[in-house]
Amino acid sequence: MWFGGSVPAAIAAAKERSSVFVVFVAGEDEQSTEMAARWEDEKVTEAASDGFVAIKIDTKRSEPILILSLVQSFVDDDDENPVVCVPSSFFIGDNGIPLEVIAGSVSVEELVTRIHKVKQKEIKKEIERRKTGKEMLEYKRRQEEELTKRMLEERNREKAEERAARERIRQQIAMDRAERAARFAKSKEEAEAAKAAALQAKQAEIEARKEAAQRERSAIARIQFRLPDGSSFTNQFPSEARLEEARQFAAQTVGNTYGNFSLATMFPRREFTKEDYGKKLLELELAPSASVVLLPPSVRSAHQQEHSAPSASGSIEQSRQAVRKRVVEKRGEDFKKEGKIYRLRTQDDGEDENNTWNGNSTQQM
């Protein structure tokens, strides 16, 4: 379990793996031999198998200056003459501060307990580190959202100022024209023309305001989606958005409840085609607000049959006209028309008509 390289290499490995750096200082005494055996026990090896980089320093083979410098970094600065306890075990965190120090030899159970204690310190530190990282990410996200919001507000403000400036210019031009017409009016006709120009300018101003208000209202399309079960939900879209975006929003909301549904309006009655889904909501007259119906496949088939009904009703109407024609023709044979009134024919009627055509009618006299 011991690191095979040098002390600097072991320190670098511990930092790279974000692991606890363990330094075991051993001598040739009996306690050092016992503690070395404790470190190499199966329970200890298993407890320290994850999250530790351990190195063993032999006081006989290592330079005394190296051992003393390591020990001095683990004791208080006020201690000018630190005593090197052999054997010693140091658990050092990534910031160079000892998390735990074991002087002398301890049992396997005590060593395992100390290792778990160090792990708990590292877990708390990792939780705190993650919490700090999460807070930093959240802070960065809020900053980006605030920056985006300010940029959007600034852009909208600039656009509003540009529209207002153009409107002021148009109004000024109209007023200048009206003033010039009034100033140079030399007759009643010219005065009337100036008055009309002023009125036209005023009307243009009113129309411009209406147009601006209409553009403002048309910027957003508020769509109400009506479901076959009678419920509904509403969402707002940019008026420049495509109808397909509204359909995708509805599909995400209802899921697979209504299958591959389509959209339609009831007033006026219209089912949108594939070409319509690529058009803008404003172009389809769905802004500033509209109500659309979700048509499941079964309802859509009935809707299409209903639209094909006029051809059948046309055939029925032709049959009715043929019947009315036969009735009129029959009416001419069995009835006699007097003004707008039809009277049942009699035998005398037939004789009178014959007399007329035979030259016996008084009408020929």
**Residue 114 included in any domain:** no
CA dist 246 and 291 (Å) reads 12
**Residue 168 included in any domain:** yes
Average pLDDT of the chain?
78
Name the domain boundary from 199, 218, 237. 218
Same domain, 17 and 101: yes
Determine how β-strand 220-226 pairs with β-strand 289-295: parallel
Amino acid 238: pLDDT: 94
Name the domain boundary from 218, 239, 260. 218
| 198 has a pLDDT exceeding 50 | yes
| 292 has a pLDDT exceeding 80 | yes
- For position 244, which CATH number holds? 3.10.20.90
Question: In this structure, are residues 163 and 212 in contact, taking their beta carbons and an 8 Å threshold?
Answer: yes
Contacts of 334 (CB under 8 A, 6+ apart): 344, 345
Amino acid 260: pLDDT: 92
**Residue 117 included in any domain:** no
CA dist 84 and 59 (Å) reads 10
How many domains, in total, are found in the chain? 4
| 356 has a pLDDT exceeding 60 | no
Q: Model confidence at 359, in pLDDT bands (50, 70, 90)? A: very low
| Domain of 185, in residue numbers | 136-218
Amino acid 181: pLDDT: 77
Same domain, 48 and 33: yes
Same domain, 285 and 337: no
Q: How far apart are the first and last CA of the chain?
A: 146
Q: What are the angstrom distances between the C-alpha of 309 and each of 32, 216, 304, 318?
A: 102, 42, 9, 14
Same domain, 312 and 272: no
Largest CA distance in the chain: 166
Same domain, 213 and 233: no
Same domain, 290 and 256: yes
Determine how β-strand 88-92 pairs with β-strand 269-271: unpaired
Tokens 């055996």, residue located: 37
Same domain, 13 and 96: yes
**Residue 179 included in any domain:** yes
Helix or strand (DSSP H, E) at 194: helix 188-218
Radius of gyration of the chain (CA): 49
| 272 has a pLDDT exceeding 90 | yes
| 112 has a pLDDT exceeding 80 | yes
Identify the weakest region by mean pLDDT among 38-47, 100-109, 119-128: 119-128
Helix or strand (DSSP H, E) at 270: strand 269-271
Token pair for 131: 């919490």
Count of other CB atoms within 10 angstroms of residue 193:
14
Name the domain boundary from 295, 322, 340. 295
| 119 has a pLDDT exceeding 70 | yes
The 3-state DSSP class for residue 337 equals strand
- For position 36, which CATH number holds? 3.40.30.10
The 3-state DSSP class for residue 140 equals helix
Contacts of 66 (CB under 8 A, 6+ apart): 7, 57
Same domain, 256 and 342: no
**Residue 131 included in any domain:** no
Same domain, 49 and 96: yes
Same domain, 212 and 227: no
CA dist 348 and 325 (Å) reads 27
**Residue 17 included in any domain:** yes
Amino acid 364: pLDDT: 39
Amino acid 270: pLDDT: 93
Same domain, 231 and 278: yes
Which of 115, 92, 116 has its CA nearest to residue 15?
92
The alpha helices in 231-296, defined as continuous H runs, are 243-254
Q: Treating both helix axes as pointing N-terminal to C-terminal, what angle do 30-39 and 108-183 enclose, rounded to 10 degrees? A: 50
Token pair for 253: 């909301």
**Residue 128 included in any domain:** no
**Angle made by CA atoms 65, 68, 74, in degrees to the nearest 5:** 145
Answer positive or negative: Cα dihedral of 321, 322, 323, 327: positive
pTM higher than the cut 0.85: no
Q: What is the mean pLDDT of the segment spanning 27-39? A: 89
Question: In this structure, are residues 46 and 40 in contact, taking their beta carbons and an 8 Å threshold?
Answer: no
Question: In this structure, are residues 101 and 74 in contact, taking their beta carbons and an 8 Å threshold?
Answer: yes
**Residue 112 included in any domain:** no
Same domain, 93 and 181: no
